[in-house]
Amino acid sequence: MMTSASRIAAGIGLLAVAALPLAVHTFFADAEKYYLHLLIQILLWAFIYTGWSLMGRFGLTSLGHGAFTGIGAYVTVLLWNYAGLTPWLGMPVSIALAVVVGLLVGYPCFRLRITGHYFALLTLALTEFIRLSIIGLRDYTGGSLGTQPRRYDGGLSLYAFQFEPNRVLAFYIVFALWLLGIYIWLRVDRSMDRYALDAASQDEDAARSVGVDVMREKLKVTALSAGMCALGGAVFGQYQMYINTDTIAGLGLSLNIVFAVIAGGIGVALGPTVGAVFTQVLAEGLRVAIQGSATMKAWFGSSALAIDQGLYGLLLILFIIYMPKGILGTGIDWWRRWRGRAAHRPAQDQAVTANRAA
Amino acid sequence: MDCQLDIFFLEAVLNGILLAGLLALLALGLNLIFGVIDVVWICYAEVVMIGMYGINFAYKGGLPFLLAAVLGILLTAAAGALLHYLVIRPVLDAAPINQLLVTGGVLFFLQAAATMAFGIEFKTLGIRLGSVIVADMSFSWARILAFLVALACMLVLWLFLSRTYMGTAIRAIAQDRQIMPLMGVDSRKLYLVTSAIGGGLAGLAASLMVLQYDIYPQVGLQFGPLIFMICVLGGLGSMIGGFIASFIISEFIAVGSSCFHTEWGYAVAFLFFMVAMFIRPQGLFGSKS
C-alpha cells in the first residue's frame, strides 16, 4: 500500500514530531513549559479526535463522545481517590465501562437503524445523561466544580501515572498515545471492516445482501471509538490534574470534537490531527493576541475568551458550506489535481486501484 | 429526600404540567421547521436566547413589557429568516447531518456573540408577578401565564395551518417536497416564511421565559437538549407528538427534582428518552418511514 517514498516521508515526519521538544528547548527556551503544554494539548486532542473520526467517517455522527471522555476521566480519578486503585488498573476499567456504555446505546441504535440526526440527537441525550449524573454524584465528583486526582509523590509517579511536572515526559506519553491513535486508524482503514462499513453507510440493505454483518461491524468500530475516547479522557485528567464537566464531558465538548474533525478532514489519517492543530493554535493564538494587546483587552475585557468560540462557530459554518472535506481533505484533492495534470490521469488511477487491491 | 404522595408531590406534578406548556411551545417552533424544511436547528434555544436579550434591552430602554415582547418576537422572526437565508439554504441539498452540524456552528457563534456583546452576567427583568396559593400549594403566575399563552398560541398556529392558504401550502410541502414546486408553489418563499414563524415562536417563548428565568449567554444549553429530546420523543415533525412528549418529560423533571436533586430529574428524563427511543424509534407519534 505504501510506496517506499511515502514510507520515508512518514519516517521523517515522525522523527520531526518526536524532535519537537528539542526544537522548543532550542528556540523558545524562555517559555518552554507553555509551548510544550500547547504541543501536549494538540497531540492529546488529536488522539481523541482520531477516536471519534473512526465512527464519524462512516456516517455515524455521534454527539455522545463527550460522555466517553467523561467516563474515562472521572472513573479513573474516582477509583484512584476513593479506592486507591492505580490508574494502570483504573484506566482499563474506565475504558471497559465506556465500551459497555457505547455498546449498550449502539446495539439498539443499529438494530433499529437509528441514523442521521436521530442518531446524533440520541447520542446527545447520552452525553447529557452522563454529564448530569456526574453533577448529581457531587459528593464524589465535586459536581460542576470539578475534582482532581490525589497527588502522589509530588505529582510525579509511575505508580499513580502522574507526570504533569515533567512536561517533556508528558509530551512523549501523549506522543505515544497519538501514534497509537494513528496506528489504529490506519489498521481500520486497511481492514476489510472499512470496506464493509463504507458499504453499510452508503446502502445498508445492499451491504447486508452481499453478506456484510452490519451490526457486528458497527459495534466493533463503536467499541474501538468509545474506548479510545475514554483513554484520551483518562490521560487528559492525569495530565491536567483537574477535571470538570465543562472541560472533559458534555455537549460543548462533543460539538468541539465534531468541529475539529470536520475542519481537519474526516476521511484522512491525519485529518483529526490537523483539526487539533488548527483549533488549538486558533484558540491559543487569539488568547495570546488579546493578552498582548491593551486595545483588544479594553474592547473585549473579560469576554475576550468568547472570541475563539465565536470564530469556531463561524468557521464551522463556512467549512460545512464551502469545504466539507476539511483542510487536509481539500488540500489532498488540490494536490491530486495538480499532480493529475502533470502525469497521465488514467495510468495513475490504475496504479491506485492496483495498490488498493494489494 | 424522600418521596411521599403528599400535597408537595401534587404540587410538583401540577408545576410539571405548567412547565410542559412552555416546553411544548418551544418544541412547536422546532417541529414546524423540521416538518416543513426537514432541518433540525440545533441552535433553536440560542434564537430564544437572542429574543430574551432583545426583550431585556427593549424593556429596560423604557418600553412597556408587551411592546418589548412584540419587538422580541419580530427580532427572532427576522433572525429565523436570516438563519435560513444565510446558513440553511446553502446546505439544503447536503447530507442531513451536515445541516445539523452547520446549525451547531450557529450555536457556538450566537453564544460567543452574546458573551462578547452582553457579558457573562446574569440579567433579569425584575418583573415579579407573584404566585397563587391553592390549598398549601404555590404556583407562580409567570408559569400559569406561560402555560395559557402556549396553549393559545398552539391553537392559533393550528388555525393558521388548517384555515389559511399559506398554512395549507405549508402542510402540503411538508407532505411532499418534490411535487409542490411542480404545482407552482414557491418553496423558497415558503421555507423563508416557515423559518420566520419558527423564529417568531422562539421569540414568544422568550417573552414568557424572561418572566421566570435569568438571562445569560448559556441559557440555551439549559433548554436546547430538552427541546430536541421532546421533539424526537414525540416524533420529529409531529406537533401533537411534541405536545404530549413535553408533558411526559416535564413530569420527569418536576417530580424527579422534587424527590431528588434537580440534576437527577433531568438525568432520568434523558435516560427515559433513550429507552423510549429504543422501543419506538420513530417517536411516540412519528410515522414509520
Q: What is the pLDDT along chain B (289 residues), one digit of tens a residue?
A: 456 667 777 878 888 888 888 898 899 888 888 888 888 888 999 999 999 999 998 998 888 888 999 999 999 999 999 999 998 888 888 877 788 888 888 988 998 888 888 877 888 877 777 777 777 777 778 888 888 988 898 888 888 888 888 888 887 877 777 777 777 777 788 889 889 999 999 999 999 888 888 888 888 888 888 888 888 888 877 778 888 899 888 888 888 877 777 788 888 888 888 888 888 777 777 664 4
Structure confidence by residue, pLDDT tens digits, A125-164: 899 899 989 988 888 888 878 888 888 877 788 888 888 8
Q: Which residue in B has a C-alpha nearest to residue A254's C-alpha?
A: B104
Q: Quick check: B112 and A310 CB within 8 A?
A: yes
| Residue appearing with cell numbers 400535597 | B7
Query: Does residue A356 surpass a pLDDT of 50?
Result: no
Instruction: Quote the pLDDT of residue B204.
Output: 92
Q: Rounded to 5 degrees, what angle do the CA atoms B58, B27, B177 make? A: 110
Q: Quick check: A136 and B271 CB within 8 A?
A: no
Mean pLDDT of A112-129: 86
For chain A positions 70-109, those within 8 Å of chain B (CB to CB) are 105, 108-109
Instruction: Quote the pLDDT of residue A104.
Output: 92
Q: Could you write out the DSSP letters of every residue in chain B?
A: ----SSHHHHHHHHHHHHHHHHHHHHHHHHHHHHHHH----TTHHHHHHHHHHHHHHHHHTT--HHHHHHHHHHHHHHHHHHHIIIIIGGGTTS-HHHHHHHHHHHHHHHHHHHHHHH-S--B-------EEEETTEEEEHHHHHHHHHHHHHHHHHHHHHHHSHHHHHHHHHHH-TTHHHHTT--HHHHHHHHHHHHHHHHHHHHHHHTTTS-B-TTHHHHHHHHHHHHHHHH-TT-HHHHHHHHHHHHHHHHHHHHHS-HHHHHHHHHHHHHHHHHH-TT-SSPPP-
CA–CA min distance B185, chain A (Å): 26
Query: Does residue A255 surpass a pLDDT of 90?
Result: no
pLDDT band at A344 (very low <50, low <70, confident <90, very high): low
pTM given for the model: 0.86
Comparing A233 with B220, which gets the higher pLDDT?
A233
Instruction: Quote the pLDDT of residue A301.
Output: 63
Q: What are phi and psi for residue A7, nearest 5 degrees?
A: -60, -45
For chain A positions 304-323, those within 8 Å of chain B (CB to CB) are 304, 306-317, 320-321
Mutation target vs A (from B92, B120, B230, B278; most A CBs, 10 A cutoff) = B278
Q: Quick check: B115 and A128 CB within 8 A?
A: no
Query: Does residue A221 surpass a pLDDT of 90?
Result: yes
Q: Which residue in B has a C-alpha nearest to residue A119's C-alpha?
A: B97
Q: Which residue among A128, A255, A311 places its CB closest to the CB of B104?
A: A255
Which one-letter amino acid corresponds to residue A211?
G
CA–CA min distance B133, chain A (Å): 31
Instruction: Quote the pLDDT of residue A272.
Output: 92
pLDDT band at A89 (very low <50, low <70, confident <90, very high): very high
Q: Quick check: B108 and A255 CB within 8 A?
A: yes
CA–CA min distance B117, chain A (Å): 8
What stretches of A211-293 show up as alpha helix (H) in DSSP?
A: 214-240, 245-248, 251-264, 271-292
Q: Which residue in B has a C-alpha nearest to residue A57's C-alpha?
A: B97
CA–CA min distance B147, chain A (Å): 26
Instruction: Quote the pLDDT of residue A353.
Output: 46
> What's chain B's length in residues?
289
Instruction: Quote the pLDDT of residue B228.
Output: 86
- Helix, strand or coil, per DSSP, at residue A323: coil
Q: Is the dihedral of CA A51, A55, A59, A65 positive or negative?
A: negative
Q: Which residue among B97, B109, B274 places its CB closest to the CB of A310?
A: B109
pLDDT band at A44 (very low <50, low <70, confident <90, very high): very high
CA–CA min distance A2, chain B (Å): 32
pLDDT band at A203 (very low <50, low <70, confident <90, very high): confident
Question: Chain A partners of B110 at a C-beta cutoff of 8 Å?
Answer: 313
Q: Quick check: B228 and A302 CB within 8 A?
A: no
CB contacts < 8 A (A, B): 146
Q: How far is CA B263 from the centre of its chain?
A: 20
CA–CA min distance B284, chain A (Å): 14
